[in-house]
Amino acid sequence: MASSSSSSSLTIPANLSLLISNLSSLITIKLDSSNYNLWKSQFYNLLHATNLAEYVDETKLSPLEYILDKSNTEKIKNPEYAQWKLYDSHLLSCITATLSQSVHASVLHCTSSFEVWCILKKCFTTLSRSHLHHLKNKLSSVRKTSSIEEYLREIKNIADQLALASSTTDDEDLVLYTLNGLPE
């Protein structure tokens, strides 16, 4: 990773440059109300591949904007903060560039990539109790009416939605639901 000795020589590291220059070809969809899991999977894999996931999972915390000088008497701008802010601002731009207009409106007030990531996660993974009941009921009543691939895909989709809402279904129950939905 490139580093700098002063705020005037801030540089963008190669991993962030890679993300910026290839974003539109690597993130193939814009996040909307129906594709959060797909979008998140694409984006998070890209963040891991470029070693930037730490900005959205809060392991790379923002340094202090000001620090004391060597004599501990005067506040000065922290060069580490300036570099962190540069990276985070570019990452924030990359994330918001992949949002649909309606989703982008919900994160306009955010000032960091971590804040946007958290709000998106909360918006798209928080399901109401009634919706959870609906999903569980749907899982127990799903029936095979088309190809086996479509049937299994439907069961997996419902199980994934439940898992996303922190309401996992164990494998034995999934097998039971799957078998119960098959014709005699």
pLDDT at site 5: 42
Task: Tell me the residue type at 73.
Answer: T
Per-residue pLDDT for 87 more than 70?
yes
- Interval 72-90 mean pLDDT: 92
pLDDT score for 110: 95
Q: How confident is the model at residue 92 (pLDDT cuts 50, 70, 90)?
A: very high
For the chain, percent of residues with pLDDT exceeding 90: 59
Banded pLDDT at 3 (limits 50, 70, 90): very low
DSSP assignment of the chain equals: ----SSGGG----HHHHHHHHHHHHH--S-B-TT-HHHHHHHHHHHHHHTT-GGGTTTSSPPPPSEEE-TTSSSEEE-HHHHHHHHHHHHHHHHHHHTB-HHHHHTTTT--SHHHHHHHHHHHHH---HHHHHHHHHHHHH----S-HHHHHHHHHHHHHHHHHTT----HHHHHHHHHHTS--
pLDDT (0 to 100) of residue 128: 58
Tens-place pLDDT, residues 41-75: 899 999 999 999 999 987 888 899 999 999 988 99
Residue 2 pLDDT more than 50?
no
For the segment 160-169, the average pLDDT, to the nearest whole number, is 77
pTM of the model: 0.67
- Pair 43, 95: CB distance under 8 Å: yes
